[in-house]
Every structure is written in C-alpha cells, then in structure tokens.
Amino acid sequence: MNATIQALGSLFLLSIAASCGTNPSGSSAASDDPLANCPVVGQYVQVGNDRVLSCDQQLLKDTVRIPLSYFAEDFELVKLDNRDEALVGQTGITLSDNYILAHSGYPPTEFKLFDRKTGAFIGDVGAVGQGPGEYQFVYDAQIDEEKGRIYLAPWQTDKLLIYDLKGKYTKHLQFYARLPKMKFQIDNEKGTLTIATLPWPKMPGFILQLDTLAKPIQKVTNVQTVTPNFNSEVINDRNCPGVFDVSIYSMDPPRVDSLYHYDAEQNRLVPVFTFNMTTTDPVPWHGYSEWPDYFTGNFSGPPVVRKTDHGTVSTPGETFHYIVDKATSKGAYLKIYNDYFGNLDMGYPSGLFRNGAYCQNIEPGNLLESIETALKDKTLSDAMRKRLTDLQADINENDNNYVLIYKLKDKNK
C-alpha cells in the first residue's frame, strides 16, 4: 500500500482517538446523543413470551443528520493490488480480520481474495461455471479464518461451496433441497450451520439449523410464506455478535412483518422489532436492520403516478429511513453524512452496516469525484482539507479499486 494512503488512514484514526468524541470534520461532538431531543417513537410490548420494540410511524416527526463517525469506531482505507488479474468492479465485500473478499458482479466473475492489511492479491476463489466448485451468482459468503475456509452460497443451490484461504476448491456441503436466496452463519464452537431462505410454500423450512454434514438438526416452518419467485430478499445483517437476525424484504406483494432472532434452544423465531405504518393499503415496501444499540429501517412512500403518451406509469415513491434507540425508544428519520470525507451525504443508511462494518468498494475515478465534491464545502476544517488534498494527489485513475472500511460501534463495550 502506498505510504501516503497508509498515513492518511492513520491520521483519521488518530484524529478520532485524540478528539474525545469530536468527529473528524470538526462539527458537533460525536459523544453527544443525536437522538436526545427526539421524541419517543415506540414502546416495548409483550407478545406472548417475547418483548418486542414496536415503532409507530405517526410518532416520527424529526429528521436527524448524524455523522458516520458517531456509529463507526474506526476507519481503514485499503488500496487493492493493481495487477490485471486482481482488478475488480464496484461489487460487494466480505471481511474477516485479515482478508477481503470482493464479490462477483454482473455478468458473474470470479470472487477475488486480498490481504486486508496490504491489499495484496491472493487469488481467485474457484471459478465461474457449472462444474464442481464452480458458481454463477452467489447470494452470501463468509470467511472462516479459524478453519481456514471460505464459504460461498449460490443464490439457488443445494450445496454450500467450500474453498481454502488460497481460493482453491476443497469440497461442498450437500443439502437435501435447493434453497432459494440462502443466508447462513457458521458457528465453529457449536459445530452448526444456521440457514435462512425465502419461505416459499412447500419449502422444507425457513430457518434450518444443520450439523457439519448439512443434515437437518431442527427447522422452523410456522412462518408466513412469500410468492415463489426471486423478487423478495432475505435480510441477515449479522451486526450483533451471537445473534442470527433475519427478516424478509417482501416485494411481491409487500406484507407487514417483523425483524426476528433465531432461538436455537427453543427452535423458534423470536420477534424483536416491528414498525406500525400509517398506510397498509397497499403495504409499502419496507425493511429492517439491527445494530448493537439501534434498530433502523426503511419504507417507501406512496407511488408516483404519471401519464405518458403510452399510458399511465406508476413508479415507487421516495424511500424514508429511520432509526430507533433500543435503550430509550427515541427515534427520528435518519440521514447520515460521511465526515471522514468532509460532509458527504450517504444513501440507504438503514442497511448500511453488515457483518459489523460498513464497506465501500469504490473505483478510483468515483473516489476522486467524491473528494472533489467534499472539497467544495467551504466549512471544511484546514486539517480535513489537507487530508483530502493529500489523498487526491495520491490516487491514479488507473488504480484498482479502494476499499473503505468503517467498523460499527457498540456503546456497551
């Protein structure tokens, strides 16, 4: 990694550590609770034996604009290896302590493995195809450093593909059925693999907990099914250690549902968060996410209907994002800006963090564009302006991508 980029990352980290809560752009202290003056927007209700935080849309009045540094405890910037065989697109990222796995895109390409500390290219993970150990589109991935494995789950599959940490295919776990849009979590201590899939009618189960041979141990089947197509999504953000969280982003048609935790001992889904919408005819598209200290979510506004020469066209309305503090039940509509790069507004904050971190896999030209936009802000501190200018001078448009990593805070630690 270039020395200037390493130094920049270090400067960002030092600025956070030395500021006692002041965010890098020099604006309001990150130690102040941005929701302190917001109203209570929900309450915990008892549903059978479960305590569920129920947020009410009618109580959401304010909009808060919060710096990313309030939620992220540190920042890393990794420049990926520049060799031709290492080049990647702006696709998804899976992290472990020492590795970066860049996902395939469209059309599908090989997953690529990098060293997290240096950005050095280690190799392709398997290959695109239909043979043993090959894949097309992959829905979920996990790096298991303890066992020296990489797991890939194609988007409709009866196998979980396993590779070593050099990217070589070693074996697969064979399932008893094809599982659409599988999300999974490996627990080496318990020797279990927990899986969530789209709950299609006549599926063998929604949550499946399997042993290491992929034979079912137990399953949950008493869940509301969705239309048997691929329009809906399985959401499993894994931001809270020891928790397998899951919800369904139901789109065809949308339905009212909750965010759940899977309780393996009782073999059931435990509702933990839900959202009471003011309009349920039709039910808007909506989704949920969980962070250690907050629940976040989004919902679509009324569709926009317009007349054209070819007839009436309806398009989805504006998407609204909100946040609720687990401890106080205070909340608001949410906008997040990236104060590590000036004051840049960020989109889709409700699904921002996954696997305990927010990752940006960004092409150098787009990173330069973001920096140029940030530098136009006349309120930038001199220190921030210098950092951005130094980084700007060090980026070449012919570079491979840059990976920006922001680790999620847990206020209780």
Phi-psi group of 383: left, alpha or beta (phi > 0 → left; psi -120 to 50 → alpha; rest → beta): alpha
Measured between alpha carbons, how far is 148 from 162 in angstroms, rounded to an integer?
10
State CA 278 to chain mean position distance: 27
Tally helices (H) and strands (E) across the chain: 4, 31
At residue 201, what is the residue type? P
Residue at token pair 């395939």 = 104
pLDDT reported for residue 126: 97
Classify burial at 290, counting beta carbons within 10 Å of its beta carbon; exposed 0-12, middle 13-18, buried 19 or more.
buried
- Joined together, the tokens standing for residue 38 give 């917001």
Is residue 81 within 8 A of residue 120, CB to CB? The reply is: yes
Is residue 340 within 8 A of residue 67, CB to CB? The reply is: no
pLDDT reported for residue 17: 28
Measured between alpha carbons, how far is 253 from 246 in angstroms, rounded to an integer?
19
Q: Count CB neighbours of 147 within 10 A.
A: 13
Measured between alpha carbons, how far is 126 from 133 in angstroms, rounded to an integer?
6
pLDDT reported for residue 20: 28
Is residue 274 within 8 A of residue 258, CB to CB? The reply is: yes
- Closest C-alpha among 151, 99, 323, 351 to residue 237: 351
pLDDT reported for residue 282: 83
pTM: 0.88
At residue 151, what is the residue type? Y
Q: For residue 243, give Cα distances in angstroms to 87, 240, 337, 408.
A: 34, 6, 28, 15
pLDDT 10s digit of each residue in the chain, 413 long?
443 344 344 333 333 222 223 344 333 444 589 999 999 999 999 999 999 999 999 999 999 999 999 999 878 999 999 999 999 999 999 999 999 999 987 789 999 999 999 999 999 999 999 999 999 999 999 999 999 999 999 999 999 999 999 999 999 999 988 999 999 999 999 899 999 999 999 888 899 999 888 888 999 988 889 999 999 999 999 999 999 999 999 888 888 899 999 999 999 999 999 999 998 888 888 999 999 999 999 998 877 778 888 778 777 688 999 999 999 999 999 999 999 988 888 866 667 899 999 999 999 999 999 999 999 999 999 999 999 999 999 999 999 999 999 999 988 77
At residue 19, what is the residue type? S
pLDDT reported for residue 9: 40
pLDDT reported for residue 215: 87
pLDDT reported for residue 350: 67
Measured between alpha carbons, how far is 266 from 41 in angstroms, rounded to an integer?
31
pLDDT reported for residue 413: 74
